[in-house]
Structures are given as structure tokens and as C-alpha cells.
Structure 1
Amino acid sequence: MVTQSAEKSLVPRTAIVADPDAGRLAATSAALGAAGFAVSQASSRDSLAALLDQRDPSIVVVDQSLAGLPVEAPLLLLIDLEDEAAEADSVRSLGMADYIAKPASPAELIHRADVLISRAAQRSDARQSAERLREQLRNVSAAVRATHDPHLISNYLVRGFGETFGADRVIFTTFDDHRVPRISAQWHRADLMPLTSGLGIHEDSARRVADHLWSDAEVLAVNDHHLDWSAGDKELEAWAQQMSPRASAFVPVGEGKSSLGVIWIAQLDEPREWTRTEISLIQHVAGNVAYGLIQSHLMSAQQQVVKQLRQLDQAKTDFLATVNHELRTPLTSISAYLDMIQDGVGGPVPADVDRMLDIIVRNSERLRRLIEDMLTVSRQDYEGASLHLAPVRLGHTLQIVTVALRPLAELGDVSITLDLDGGDPTITADEVQLEQVFTNLVSNAIKFTPRGGSIVVGCRIETMTDGTPGVNVDVRDTGVGIPEEEIPHLFTRFFRASNATSTAVPGSGLGLAIAHDIVKAHRGHMEVASELGHGTTISVQLPVSGP
């Protein structure tokens, strides 16, 4: 066995002795040298400062007349006996320091030096141990923060605490609480079996203790259960028997004013002293766990809502597609028979009946347009508004649209003007879909422009907002206008302006939404400017090069 003195001899020890008195300097140095110290001497403040810059001593022994320099090593002051009371107060403020009255006996000198060095070593070990503990628990916190999976969070916690504190068992459970998912996780050393019943506690009892600790910002840390169960942990004693801890820490996990779970760290065979640093770090990690579980629970709830919304949206799309198919077949048959009746296939049609048939034809045409709009919406949902791109003369497309809709405008005594002063630019686009866009815009303008009003469709070359070449198409009318607060909702499916609804203007609320989706698919955008009672301008900006 290695003796304590032999252990000391294995540790290289150095000392700096500073004293203006040559006799004391020699005597102090000799005493330390005889105890195994390698001694450096200084007889002045300057020579002491030089040695402190050059050496990293185990201890510094300084006469009070030379004191005052910053010293990192343990400091032993040599003081006059009559100044002992005053010097004692000043030494206490220096931290790792002590004093001895001069002249000091060699035995007392060596004893004081050994005590100081030992205290310094203990303090250094404690600092290093605390730093290692902080680093290990920082890693646990980082792992907890890096995931939103509540089961991973729980497993990182129990394993991290078990390995960091050298525990025998660590158990974590959440209570029945809307803020977090229900979780029970445990970790144990390799030679132990898991506890089949978890904590083996009644939740009301555990929550009562946890709430009390949480409200006081405390951890119930017991160094040795064999000595006593304190009054504060009597409720835990009854259900701690299956784990039979020797020492344990019962840690509340909470948020706001109440706990939401509990961590139990158990040492089974030996007592353990829980330090203030350990308790503080445990509480910090527990706070990260609470935040992580709450966030993961919120995200899980949000993901479930999103999933349900997507299912509802898909059901709506499937419904539209089914209804469109079921409506188109009988409507096609109705339209065909109407044409046959009007053509006289079944015999001459009286004038009064012919007028009735005209009304039926117009309304069947309205129904057909509604079905086409719904079919367009369902196709866009299924196919993502796939485009068939080709060079398109935009002026020519606008001319086709205005010519086709001019009879409808003239029926309502509304004029349509096509302004192509900006030329007939060619862009890369899907001509069929662009024709649908401008048909919707112009037909809307006709619908909401009173008799005697006018519509101007203009086209000009204009740079896009991102600086790329583009064209701008304006559809301006002198119609009823749109309430300002409703403009942001115009491109929402099935939305109809309040004045359209109040005046019973027919429509599905799909036209502008479809137009907006098609323009967006072309990497363009639409803008609406309107003044109630004075008309509306809808601008469509499209890139020349296409999407």
C-alpha cells in the first residue's frame, strides 16, 4: 500500500518564498525544502513579481510587507503576531489564502502549506467535476432540443441523467395533462431489470407532491433513505418500496403554475450527496424537456389538423369531380333535345313555346358554364393546372375573346373596346387557358356593368415586378365596383361580392378564382383596383418567356 507521505512525494511540489529578511527567507525555504518542495526565493516585490510571471508554484509564502501582488496559487502570509486580528480579516477576502504568525515553526509552516494545497486541489477538482457535469447535461439538453419526437425526448432524458449521475434507475412519466402526450420512460444499469409497473405510484399522489415542489421551485433530494424519510416525502415512501432507493432525487417537470410530469433518479446501494450545482442543472434540463414536450404535442396536434383538412379538401375535390360527371351527362341530353325541338324535328313549335324554349336554353347554358367552372377547379386540384405551352399572340387571343362576347355585351347595351396600341406581343403560354382567363374577366365585366356602360380591354408591354420582360392586360369597366374590404377575397373560390349577391347577379364565385390560379401557374399575377359605383380594373401581368 502507498502511504500518504509516499503519495505526496510522487506529486511534484514547488514553492515561492518572498521575505525581505534574509534569515527568515533562508529558514522558511529550508523548512519547505526539507518537506520536498522545490523552492524559489525572492527578497523584494520586483523579484517576487518576476518569479510569479515565470513559475506556476504549488504555494506562495509571502511576508506581509511584500503582499499585494495578484497570486493565482494558494497564498500563505507571514504576519506579525500583534497584527493578527487585522491581517486575518484581510486574508479572508483573498480566497484561497491563510496566514501564520512569524517566526513560524517548520512543522506549523508545512502543515499550513499542505492544508492550503489540499484545499486548492479539492476546489480545482470540484470545478472540473462541475464543468464536466455541465458539459454532459448540455449534451442532453442539445439532444432534447434537436427532436420533436416525445419518445426520443424522454429516452434522451432518462439515459442522459442515468449516465451523467451514475444512477441505478431513472424513471420519467407525464401526468394526464392536455399540454403534453402521455409518456412513461425508464433507464437502468445493465444488471437490473426494468420495472414493469413504472413508478408504481398513484398519479394523484405523485402529482400532489410534484405540484408542491414545482410551486416552491424545489427538487426533493434525499441523500440517504435509510436514515429518515422526511415529512415532505412521506407520500413517496409508500410507493418507493418496489425500487428500494438508498438515495434519490424526485424532480418535478412543469410549465406555468402546475407540474405536468416527474423524474425520479435513484441510487440503490449507496448514499449520495446531491450538490446545489447538480440540482440546478437537473432543473435546467427538466425545463428543456417540458418545453420540448409541449412543442411536440402542439406540432402533433397541428399536423393532425392539417391531415384532416387535406382529407376534407380531397373529399371536396372528389365530390366536385363526381358531381360534374353526373351533371354533364343529363345536361348534354337536355341540350340535345332542346336543339332538336327548336329545329322542328318533332314538328312546328308555336311562338309562345319557342320563347319558353329560349329561356330554358339560356338557363341550361348557365348551368353548363357552372359545371365547366367546377370541372376546371377539380382538374386544377388533381393535375396542378398543367400547361401546354406554345407561342401565343396575345392581341389575337384578346380579339377572339372580345368578338365572342360582344353580342352578350350589346344585349345589355354595353360597349366593348379592344385597345392594342401596345402592339400584339407574343408570349409563351397555354392559349386555351389564357382564353378562359380573359373570357371570365370580360364576361364578369359585362355582368356587372349597367346599361350604357363601357368596357376597355387594353394590352401593353410592361416589365414585371422582378425586372423580367412582361406584358400587362387591363380589363376596365364602368360597372358597380367592389367594396374595398372585399377586394382581398375576390380570388377565393365560391366568394361573391356582397353587391353581386344583393342584386341577384347570377354567378358561381369560381370565375376569378380559376383565372387567378391559371395566371399564377404562368408565373404571373393579378391585381384589382375598384371604386364602389365607378367601376373596376383588373390587371393581368404575364412574363414573355412563360413559366
Structure 2
Amino acid sequence: MAELAVEASSAPRAIVIADSDQDRLKLSSAALSAAGFTIHPASDAASLAGQMARHRPAVVVMDSALAGGHAAEGVPVLLLVNLADEFDLGAVDNWGDADYILNPPRPEELVHRVETLIGRARERHRIRSGAEALRESLRKVSAAIRSTNDPQQIADLVVSGFGGALDADRVWFATFRDERVPRIRSQWNRRGLAQLPARLGSHEDALTEMANRLWGEADVLTVANHGDVPTSPISMLLGAWAGPLSPRSSVLVPVGEGESALGVILIATADEPREWTRTEISLIQHVAGNVAHGLIQGHLISAQQQVLQQLRQLDKAKTDFLATVNHELRTPLTSITAYLDMIREGAGGPVPEGIQRMVEVISRNSDRLRRLIEDMLTVSKQEGTGSLNLKRVDIGQVLQIVVATLRPLADTRDVEITFNESAEDIKINADEAQLEQVFTNIVANAIKFTPDGGQIGITSEPSAADDGRPAVLVQVADTGVGIPEQEIPQVFTRFYRASNASSAAVPGSGLGLAIAQDIVRRHTGHLELHSKLGRGTTVSVQLPVGGP
């Protein structure tokens, strides 16, 4: 970039001539002055440096005797070589634009060499400026590609971007049959030109094979003039596919990821041959890499959005189903329960002992069905964040109510329940009804999965949350059947039941722990479960004293 700046700001006809021989200096200055150049002479290294700093010439003509302190960085140099002096001409190769001529030079040869150096410098500057402009244009194309996840938009951006930046006539892009990306076609044409065929048809397999070969070799296929190679595979393929629209020159660029190409970009001129430069090819490949990444990422995001939409639809259908089932089941169950109460009260006459036992079985199963409906209704209501009716709640009192409610159920199984309350009176901000449901579900589970004669221990004590805030820790430990280790992560999933519970025909909906965990989370607490198969389970609930 420093060299470009020097060339761009140099005086186009200014020459610094440095020669320690005054006669040769005068002859060289006269020859170049007659050719229309402005001459700035120097006779030693110091004056050479001064002239360079003041005038920034287009070319430096330098006596080899003064070249040891070469200070013409970025400026073309014509070295005047003295045969009597020792000088390593190989060093000239490291000076960039440089040439040498015997000293003293013939006037016409001196002028010719200087003009040639100026022309080379201008052409080099033109090429570099063009490369910088192309690099900036394609940088904008890459930035636009990275700004979207829409695969079709990415394709449209790359064809229009390549067409404008590379001054092409046609750009055509297509993806192959590949699960990583959707099927895409896009093309750009210079105004007035007909479009290439949208589909590859029977030629797709041949083009896919060609693109995969290029991708494996990390290469592109360039043809400066298809008229020179009419029987080459690419010329014949493009001719068969595009017919009269077959390009005159082209670049075939594979777009790929991993071990195979997923698409191809064709950049072409319609009528004129064209040599494709190394800089152009390098930049095209860089953008093609961004295209591949963008297409794959966009396709994944699109697929995820579709799955998310389907999940939302399924979730809504599930919620609607639960609400409908709750309503449809609750009405007949209410009727069944009412008639059972009337039978027990003797409204239909005395109930024989055998019938009484049947009525008790019906009553127990009605209660099971009622609890299932209530659990399902709770799940339906808790979609989203839900609302909490917060107030100061005595955690020990809640646990005492739960134990008193479930003790008759435990007694039928000869399961002992003990409650060791903290000596401290612990009160927290919570929804009392929902908190009672949490511990009812946990203790009821413990009773169901503890064999006859087992034990359940309940404790509550002060604790500290992870952030240091005061909390209460409640633990329910049983001596029940336990849960297989590999199934523990699934027990909080709705409707999931452990395999040993299913095989033992232990009744339940698989909703109890899921509901408990949801309520605890909405109280900004934590619920954890530890279990050993055949040795029992411990459920720990930590709740902040200050509430959510």
C-alpha cells in the first residue's frame, strides 16, 4: 500500500538522475530533458536522498556506484552499470520495478528504458487498483451473504455480486441433490441477454461429478476461450446444456463443505474471450466458501424454525386436548361420585355387605380418576409462567397437613411416616395451595413405591441458596424400590413412568413429579432426586425464604 501511494503521488514526468561523474550526468540529463522529462540531478548519496524527498519522481536513474544506499523504495529504478565497478546485479531483482543499462547509455536507449519503466509502473498500479476494487466489491458481497440466513437470498446475492464485480455477462448458480442444502437455482445476466436454462436436466450428474473433482482438488476450472477447446469435457457439457447460449469464456467454481461439493457457480462471458487472473480466482473461491457456510447454516435454521412451528402446533393441540378431556371426564365423574354417596347413605335402601365391597372398589377407582383429572388440569393451567398467590407460609405447618392427609394411605400399607421439623419456625413467601400440592405429590409417590412395612422420613431445616440468600430445605426419604439409574433424568418428564413402576403395575399418571418440579421452579427453588435401585429414593426441595 505504501508503494501504491508513492506511485500515485509521483510526478508523471519527473526524473531524479544520480551520477558521480558530472559529464555523464549532463549527457543523461540532456537526453531525458529533450524527451520532455523534468530533471532533478544528484551527484552523491546525500543529494540523491534530498532530491527523492523533495520531488518524489516517477523514475530514478542511478549510477551503480551510488546504489549501495538505495533509497528509492517504491519508485522504479534504472541502474547505470559501470563495467569497471563490482556490483551484484542479482540485488536489482529485489527492488521491484527495476532495470539496468551500461553507463554511459545511448540517449535513445536511455529514454526508451525510462519510458518502459514508467509504463510498467502504471500498468502495475492499474492492476493493483483493480484488484483492490475487486476485493472491496466481493468483500461487500460476502458481508451481504453473512447478513442473511435465507438460502435463496444468498444465491441471488452471489450471482448479482459476481456479475457486477467481475464485469461478467452471465452468472449461474445451482445446488445439487444434497440433504445439507435446499434445491436452489439463481442467475444474473447483463441487460439484454437471454437467461441460461434453469434446470440441468440429464446433465446434472456430469456437472456434479466435475464439481466434486474440482472440490477435492481445491481448484476451479477456467477456460479463456471455449472456441479453442471445443471438444473439452466442459465445453461439450456447456454446449449440450446451454445450446446457442453456451459461453465464450467461463469459470466453474465448486461450492462445497466437507468431502463433497453441494453446488456450483458458473461465471461467463457471452462473446469475448477472457483471461481470468489469479487474484480473481482467489477472491471467487473465498466468496464461494462464505456461500457454502451461509447455505448450510440457513438451511439448518430454516429446518429448526419449521420444527419449532410444528412443536408449537403440537403443544397447542395438546393443551386443547387436555382442556377438552378434563371437561368431558369431570362431568360424568361428578355424577358417578354423587350416586356412590347416595348409595352409601342408603338412599336406595340397605346395601348388602358384598355390594358394599364393590362400592368401595368403585369409590377408590373414582378417586384415582379424579386425581388424574386434577393432575392433567394442573398441567394445562401451568403452561407458561402461571400465577402465584404469594403470602407468608409456615413450611412446617404445610408439611404437617400433608402428613395428616396421607397417613391413612400409609397405614393401609403399614408404612411408617416420621416428620422431624426444624426447631426454628421457618416461614417463606409462597403459594400455600401449590406448595401443598408439591409435597403431597412427593410423599404420595414415596408411599406408592415403598413396600409394606417400609419407612418414610420427612425433614425440614434452614439452608442457603447458591447466591447466599436464606432458604429452607425439605427432604423426603423412603426405603422403597428406587429408580434405575439410567432412568433418573427422565422422571420429571410428563407422563413418564419408571420401568419398575410399570412392571409392578403401580398405579399413577406420571405427572406428579413433573408438576412438583414446575411449581418449585416458579418459586425460584430447586428440586433434586437421588435414588438407588432397591434401596430407596430421596427427594430434596430447596425454596428461598424471600420467595420468587
Q: So what's the TM-score if we normalise by structure 2?
A: 0.89
The residue that corresponds to 1:514 in the other structure is 515
Letter aligned with residue 428 of structure 1: N
Query: How far apart, CA to CA, are the structure 2 residues paired with 1:202 and 1:498?
Result: 56
- Would the alpha carbon gap of residues 166 and 543 (structure 1) be closer, same or farther in structure 2, given more than 3 Å must change? same
CA contact (8 A) 1:476 1:536 kept: yes
- Would the alpha carbon gap of residues 49 and 512 (structure 1) be closer, same or farther in structure 2, given more than 3 Å must change? same
Alignment of 1:43-442 (within 5 A): 43-68=43-68, 69-72=70-73, 73-81=75-83, 87-192=88-193, 194=195, 202-225=203-226, 229=230, 231-232=232-233, 233-243=235-245, 245-381=247-383, 384-442=385-443
CA contact (8 A) 1:16 1:40 kept: yes
What secondary structure does 1:147 align onto? coil
What secondary structure does 1:240 align onto? helix
By how many angstroms is 1:537 displaced? 2.3
Residue-by-residue CA offset, 1:317-363 (whole Å, 9 max, x unaligned) = 33333333332222222222222212211111222332332222222
Query: How far apart, CA to CA, are the structure 1 residues paired with 2:139 and 2:201?
Result: 30
By how many angstroms is 1:512 displaced? 0.6
What secondary structure does 1:20 align onto? coil
The residue that corresponds to 2:5 in the other structure is none
Letter aligned with residue 252 of structure 1: P
Letter aligned with residue 105 of structure 1: R
- Would the alpha carbon gap of residues 444 and 248 (structure 1) be closer, same or farther in structure 2, given more than 3 Å must change? same
Question: After the TM superposition, which of the residue ranges 325-334 and 29-38 deviates more from structure 2?
Answer: 29-38
By how many angstroms is 1:159 displaced? 0.9
By how many angstroms is 1:511 displaced? 0.6
Letter aligned with residue 170 of structure 2: R
Letter aligned with residue 487 of structure 1: I
By how many angstroms is 1:455 displaced? 2.9
The residue that corresponds to 1:24 in the other structure is 24
Question: After the TM superposition, which of the residue ranges 196-205 and 295-304 deviates more from structure 2?
Answer: 196-205
By how many angstroms is 1:440 displaced? 0.6
Q: Say how many residue pairs are matched.
A: 536
Letter aligned with residue 159 of structure 1: S
Letter aligned with residue 239 of structure 1: W
CA contact (8 A) 2:11 2:57 kept: no
Query: How far apart, CA to CA, are the structure 2 residues paired with 1:330 and 1:322?
Result: 13
Q: So what's the TM-score if we normalise by structure 1?
A: 0.89
By how many angstroms is 1:532 displaced? 4.0
- Would the alpha carbon gap of residues 460 and 183 (structure 1) be closer, same or farther in structure 2, given more than 3 Å must change? same
By how many angstroms is 1:312 displaced? 3.2
Query: How far apart, CA to CA, are the structure 2 residues paired with 1:316 and 1:189?
Result: 54
CA contact (8 A) 1:171 1:199 kept: no
Could you list the structure 1 runs, at least 4 aligned residues long, displaced by more than 6 angstroms after superposition.
198-201
Alignment of 1:437-516 (within 5 A): 437-516=438-517
The residue that corresponds to 1:36 in the other structure is 36
What secondary structure does 2:360 align onto? helix
Query: How far apart, CA to CA, are the structure 1 residues paired with 2:217 and 2:530?
Result: 61
Residue-by-residue CA offset, 1:113-143 (whole Å, 9 max, x unaligned) = 1111211121121112111111111111111
CA contact (8 A) 2:203 2:237 kept: no
What secondary structure does 2:336 align onto? helix
Query: How far apart, CA to CA, are the structure 1 residues paired with 2:249 and 2:502?
Result: 75
Query: How far apart, CA to CA, are the structure 1 residues paired with 2:65 and 2:522?
Result: 88
Letter aligned with residue 525 of structure 1: H
CA contact (8 A) 2:197 2:242 kept: no
The residue that corresponds to 2:525 in the other structure is 524
- Would the alpha carbon gap of residues 296 and 440 (structure 1) be closer, same or farther in structure 2, given more than 3 Å must change? same
By how many angstroms is 1:513 displaced? 0.8
By how many angstroms is 1:103 displaced? 1.0
Unaligned runs of 5+ in 1: 1-9
Letter aligned with residue 94 of structure 1: W
Question: After the TM superposition, which of the residue ranges 144-153 and 412-421 deviates more from structure 2?
Answer: 412-421
Query: How far apart, CA to CA, are the structure 2 residues paired with 1:420 and 1:88?
Result: 98
By how many angstroms is 1:514 displaced? 0.7
Letter aligned with residue 544 of structure 1: V
- Would the alpha carbon gap of residues 131 and 503 (structure 1) be closer, same or farther in structure 2, given more than 3 Å must change? same
By how many angstroms is 1:285 displaced? 1.5
The residue that corresponds to 2:7 in the other structure is none
The residue that corresponds to 1:5 in the other structure is none
Query: How far apart, CA to CA, are the structure 1 residues paired with 2:113 and 2:201?
Result: 53
By how many angstroms is 1:63 displaced? 1.5
Query: How far apart, CA to CA, are the structure 1 residues paired with 2:34 and 2:201?
Result: 63
Question: After the TM superposition, which of the residue ranges 130-139 and 162-171 deviates more from structure 2?
Answer: 162-171
